[in-house]
Chains A and B, each alone.
Chain A
Amino acid sequence: MQHDVVAIVPELMLVATALLMMLIDPWVPQKERRGFSWLGILACATAAVSTWLSRGEQFTTFSHGIALDKFTVFFKLLLLAVAVLAMLLSEQHLELKDRLLGDYYALILLATVGLMVMAESIDLVTFFVGLELMSLASYVLAGFFRRNSRSIEASLKYFLTGSFASGIVLFGMALLYGISGSTNYEEIGTAIRIGPVDGHVMVIAIVLLIGGFAFKVAAAPFHSWAPDVYQGAPTPVAAFLSVGPKIGAFAVIIKFFTIILGSEHTRWTPLLIAVAIATMLIGATMALLQRDLKRMLAFSSIAHVGYLLLAVVALGENVNSFGDSSILFYLAAYAAMNMGAFGVLVFLANSGKFGDSLDEMAGLGRRYPGAAGVMTVFMFSLAGIPPTAGFLAKFYLFAAVVDAGLAWLAVVGVLFSVVSAFYYLRVIVYMYMREPEAEAAAMEPTGKRSWDLTIGLGLATAVVVVMGILPGPVLNAAQDAVAKILGS
């Protein structure tokens, strides 16, 4: 019984810190508010340590509602790292916009807790609790700059579409419960495979759930909220939203397809292939047209979701394939490079007048050689050029697809990655090969150096490069994590 608490100690730490932050916020003077950032990072660090200590555990608890295994540990550590990075990117930005509040960090922590619960859930109800906790926190985060109409718009849009999607997920879950009589993944899976279940209802339930997932990870045709939300939300929040929810959702997707559907999964691969190709197509082609970097990154993240879905397809074609571990590895690489790219935008926004447009990147290589340098690393990584994490992640993912016997699909995938290379390279072209407009050239570096931001960008760069050259540890962790997912 003492196990119960062990499993959620990290979550409890984060919740306690979040509550503490909200409680003391009014009494903290403006000058001391920077401390919130460090308090949040400290909480994440201790949570990470306690997660790490439980890495050998293998058990389910809370009446088979959550599982603690290597899979959970991998995702929790990844999510905590994302949260730390998000906080590092935020501090100076919030200060400059005069919105440096404890609430912000509390919301990030709560969203992270929600994501962690999603990752460890093996029960539909637990999953939904996590999903809603994450979603509500992110709706508020998207609208955190309350005087900025775009931020409000992002928040409202995210909220409306998001709650609609939650409803769809809930409806699918209800139907699944209806045909199987359980909310536990494993029991649903057994019921579906052994039957008898109503086939039509099951199809509707699964389509609804896939639709809901597609919304949460911004896959076509439910992707259209993403560019508006990422563009309108505060840039550090966009960094978090473009990564965190995807990680949580893919944890659930892996469990959904392996535990609940299992061998049934194969029937769904044609649908998933269609969704994946449509997602890559829309992501890659729309990103070509964007002049706004945040929108460009939004569409690029849609394209990346398309690649990740290819791995889900591979998993469906062949349960023994390493589609699952390739998703884990890809998510880790994606988190570092995408947050890094957003982080550079935060840096530029902090440095003065910067409207996120591509033209303003012109001549950046001269004005801010450091920022331009790390942006180059992130862009090459997103494009999948060695020696970066993005390359090995893509390589490993396409290897899973080829191994599952879908070489043609891998060819489609790599061709889209050539298309996507174009828009990543364009950023580099602007930074190094175009001269800035006269006005921008006169703009000298003004912003104060922020250690938080520097550390955050440095960490992201280091992860991208190290994972690109020595992927061993992360790869081993990813493979061990999926070796035995509890409940399957």
Chain B
Amino acid sequence: MTFLPTLGALVMLVLMRGRPLLYKYTALATTAAVFVLSLVMVFKFNQNTASFQFIEKVNWIPRLGSSYHMGVDGISVLLILLTTLLSLVIIPASWNYIKDRELSFFASFLFLETGMIGTFCARDLLLFYVFWELMLIPMYFIIGVWGGPRRIYAAFKFFLFTMAGSVLMLVAIVAIAYLARPNHFAAPVFDLDQLQNAVFSFPVQLAAFLAFFIAFAIKVPMWPVHTWLPDAHVEAPTAGSVILAGVLLKMGGYGIIRFCIPLFPDAAAAAVPYILILSIIAIIYGALLSLVQKDLKKLVAYSSVSHMGFVTGGIFALNIIGVEGGVLVMFSHGLLTGSLFLLVGFAYERLHTREISAMGGLASPFPVLASFLLFFTLASLGLPGLSGFVGEFLSLLGLFSYNKAMAVIAAGGIILAAAYLLWMYLRTMFTETRDEKWFKLSDLNLREISSLVPLGALAIWVGVYPATFINIINPSASRLVNQMAPYMAQHGNFLTRFLAALGGRL
């Protein structure tokens, strides 16, 4: 399944040069097939166990102790579903958007999909790293070739930020792989199943944890390493933004759950208070910046920084509810922000601007667009009954049982979210219609609606009956929390002292 998109892309590149309709349908068919496969996987997935399923294991580089080892647990399954769904919907969404070198554009997305799925499945650190970096290449081209006016700057910034983070992670990967060897002449250990049992001394854990964490924090992105995100989002084409916000940011959260915490539990427990503080800063800071943005895409981009704060906050509360909440926020943020970017893109195709001040009164010329935007805006600001609410609520509950003051501050982020989103909606959709010409433009067509509907439907599902998804996440989350419990107990006192020093006693 991982390589099906690559196959599709190769077929397109080799056989279908200069036949736009044919390769567009091939791209659509490929992503659809991958999506169906991932659905099949979700249905066959056994929800009662935390162990990995659908395991494929082939020797890859035996001398380096690295194998092609793939497998999924509940968290991976959800994120893969998100990946395949978003990859599917962006194809029709960008059907006519790109005018230049379309073939390469669609092929890039298929390559990207391979990288993303591989990253979520890899059970071998070296393999993971290969997929992780593999995603950079197509994304770099997507931003750099088909992006906006400052695309080259944005592409460079995106690439170098991510690479700077990940090469440090590479050194850490190598270090732990060689430290985990049973003796000096054995091959290094990259397999996660074996690394899970390895025990590292605290200084090693701390150094490796930091190296991994910085790489993932850049991807999330956490404050203060988020600065590449607004640039990349604003310059990327719509589909690029959707994937960037919908899937690539999730890589960071996923990496933290999968690698950072379980491999270095001691260091992770020690780092909890600091990371929670950073998360809360991200929540508030991202929300405040969203309030003052003039560009719609930038607004959504900064809101991502804020929402992702709930992800890291929930995960690092390190109780079951928090972790489940964090993962659910990732899933729902992928759906909602993905749709918001799609909508901004659709609006841009018609109005050729993203300036909030240039819009106004769009609701009368574009009623369908306005109602979709309303739906996703409400979901994004956490209206109960839609997906945004459930995840953030659980995440806050997790934070609350860890530390009440933090949860209270973080909850302020939700209020701010309501403020900036509703204000944005007010300024763009209501008030007077600025331009009479807009009435001549067409509203969303069937193709565009069809790319939004599945996302909306899932958002409702998650909001109304989250149990479906929580049951999938639960075994993996509880395994993580159980593993961490002894370490948290050990470092718990430290936190109380730390907060007492801050005067945050409750």
- Interface residue ranges, A against B (CB under 8 Å): 320, 365, 380, 385-387, 391, 395-396, 398-399, 402-403, 407, 410-411, 414-415, 417-418, 421-422, 425, 428-429, 432-434, 470-472, 475-476, 479
Name the interface size band of chain B. Answer: 35 or more
Please state if B145 and A479 are interface contacts (CB–CB under 8 Å): no
Q: How many angstroms between the C-alpha atoms of A432 and B138 in the bound complex?
A: 13
Please state if B133 and A433 are interface contacts (CB–CB under 8 Å): no
Please, which residues of chain A bring their CB within 8 A of the CB of B163? 385, 418, 421
- A386-B130, A410-B171, A422-B160 given; A403·B178 CB < 8 A: yes
Most buried by A among B63, B141, B177, B184: B63
Q: How many angstroms between the C-alpha atoms of A411 and B174 in the bound complex?
A: 11
Q: Does B356 contact A (CB under 8 A)?
A: no
Q: How many angstroms between the C-alpha atoms of A384 and B32 in the bound complex?
A: 33
Interface of B is mostly: helix
Q: In residues 138-180 of chain B, which contact A (Cβ within 8 Å)?
A: 140-141, 144-145, 151-152, 155-156, 159-160, 163-164, 167-168, 170-171, 174-175, 177-178
Closest beta carbon of chain B to A117's beta carbon, Å: 30
Q: A398-B171, A421-B163 are in contact. List 13 more A-B contacts (CB 8 A).
A: A391-B130, A395-B126, A399-B174, A414-B167, A417-B167, A418-B163, A422-B160, A429-B144, A429-B155, A429-B156, A433-B155, A471-B61, A475-B63
Please state if B160 and A385 are interface contacts (CB–CB under 8 Å): no
Please state if B61 and A385 are interface contacts (CB–CB under 8 Å): no
Please state if A398 and B64 are interface contacts (CB–CB under 8 Å): no
Q: How many angstroms between the C-alpha atoms of A24 and B206 in the bound complex?
A: 69
Please, which residues of chain B bring their CB within 8 A of the CB of A365? 101
Please state if A386 and B178 are interface contacts (CB–CB under 8 Å): no
Please state if A386 and B134 are interface contacts (CB–CB under 8 Å): yes
Please, which residues of chain B bring their CB within 8 A of the CB of A395? 126, 170, 174
Please state if B141 and A432 are interface contacts (CB–CB under 8 Å): yes
Q: Does B503 contact A (CB under 8 A)?
A: no
Interface of A is mostly: helix
Please state if B170 and A398 are interface contacts (CB–CB under 8 Å): yes
Please, which residues of chain A bring their CB within 8 A of the CB of B61? 471-472, 475
29 A-B residue pairings within 8 Å (CB atoms)? A385-B133, A385-B163, A386-B129, A391-B130, A395-B126, A396-B64, A398-B170, A398-B174, A402-B175, A403-B174, A407-B207, A410-B171, A411-B171, A415-B164, A418-B167, A421-B163, A422-B160, A425-B156, A429-B152, A429-B155, A432-B145, A433-B144, A433-B151, A433-B155, A470-B60, A472-B63, A475-B64, A476-B63, A479-B63
Please state if A410 and B133 are interface contacts (CB–CB under 8 Å): no
Please, which residues of chain B bring their CB within 8 A of the CB of A399? 64, 174, 177-178, 188
Please, which residues of chain B bring their CB within 8 A of the CB of A380? 137
Q: How many angstroms between the C-alpha atoms of A479 and B62 in the bound complex?
A: 12
Please, which residues of chain A bring their CB within 8 A of the CB of B178? 399, 402-403
Q: In residues 100-150 of chain B, which contact A (Cβ within 8 Å)?
A: 101, 126, 129-130, 133-134, 136-137, 140-141, 144-145
Please, which residues of chain A bring their CB within 8 A of the CB of B134? 386-387
Please, which residues of chain A bring their CB within 8 A of the CB of B184? 320
Please, which residues of chain B bring their CB within 8 A of the CB of A407? 171, 175, 207
Q: How many angstroms between the C-alpha atoms of A471 and B129 in the bound complex?
A: 16
Closest to A403 in B: B178
Please, which residues of chain A bring their CB within 8 A of the CB of B152? 429, 433-434
Please, which residues of chain B bring their CB within 8 A of the CB of A385? 133, 136-137, 163
Please, which residues of chain A bring their CB within 8 A of the CB of B60? 470, 472
- Interface residue ranges, B against A (CB under 8 Å): 60-64, 101, 126, 129-130, 133-134, 136-137, 140-141, 144-145, 151-152, 155-156, 159-160, 163-164, 167-168, 170-171, 174-175, 177-178, 184, 188, 207
Most buried by A among B151, B155, B175: B175
- A402-B174, A425-B159 given; A415·B167 CB < 8 A: yes
Please, which residues of chain A bring their CB within 8 A of the CB of B136? 385
Please, which residues of chain A bring their CB within 8 A of the CB of B174? 395, 398-399, 402-403, 410
Please state if A432 and B144 are interface contacts (CB–CB under 8 Å): yes
Closest beta carbon of chain B to A171's beta carbon, Å: 39
Q: How many angstroms between the C-alpha atoms of A434 and B141 in the bound complex?
A: 12
Pick from B140, B151, B159, B171: contact of A414, CB below 8 A: B171
Q: How many angstroms between the C-alpha atoms of A472 and B62 in the bound complex?
A: 8
Q: How many angstroms between the C-alpha atoms of A418 and B184 in the bound complex?
A: 30
Please, which residues of chain A bring their CB within 8 A of the CB of B144? 428-429, 432-433
Q: How many angstroms between the C-alpha atoms of A53 and B486 in the bound complex?
A: 60
Q: How many angstroms between the C-alpha atoms of A422 and B170 in the bound complex?
A: 18
Please, which residues of chain A bring their CB within 8 A of the CB of B170? 395, 398, 414
Closest beta carbon of chain B to A329's beta carbon, Å: 10
Closest beta carbon of chain B to A373's beta carbon, Å: 10
Closest beta carbon of chain A to B273's beta carbon, Å: 26
Please, which residues of chain A bring their CB within 8 A of the CB of B101? 365
Closest beta carbon of chain B to A291's beta carbon, Å: 16
> Top 7 A-B pairs ranked by shortest CB distance?
A414-B167, A386-B130, A399-B174, A402-B174, A433-B144, A403-B178, A386-B133
Please, which residues of chain B bring their CB within 8 A of the CB of A386? 129-130, 133-134
Please, which residues of chain A bring their CB within 8 A of the CB of B207? 407
Please, which residues of chain A bring their CB within 8 A of the CB of B177? 399
Q: How many angstroms between the C-alpha atoms of A470 and B60 in the bound complex?
A: 7
Q: How many angstroms between the C-alpha atoms of A425 and B184 in the bound complex?
A: 38
Q: How many angstroms between the C-alpha atoms of A386 and B159 in the bound complex?
A: 14
Q: How many angstroms between the C-alpha atoms of A395 and B167 in the bound complex?
A: 10
Please, which residues of chain B bring their CB within 8 A of the CB of A410? 171, 174
Please state if A433 and B145 are interface contacts (CB–CB under 8 Å): yes
Closest to B159 in A: A425
Please, which residues of chain A bring their CB within 8 A of the CB of B188? 399
Please state if A418 and B145 are interface contacts (CB–CB under 8 Å): no
Q: How many angstroms between the C-alpha atoms of A380 and B159 in the bound complex?
A: 12
Closest beta carbon of chain A to B320's beta carbon, Å: 35
Please, which residues of chain B bring their CB within 8 A of the CB of A417? 167
Closest beta carbon of chain B to A467's beta carbon, Å: 11
Please, which residues of chain A bring their CB within 8 A of the CB of B126? 395
Q: How many angstroms between the C-alpha atoms of A471 and B151 in the bound complex?
A: 35
Q: How many angstroms between the C-alpha atoms of A407 and B172 in the bound complex?
A: 9
Closest to A478 in B: B63
Closest beta carbon of chain B to A358's beta carbon, Å: 13
Q: How many angstroms between the C-alpha atoms of A471 and B159 in the bound complex?
A: 26
Please, which residues of chain B bring their CB within 8 A of the CB of A479? 63
Closest to A472 in B: B61
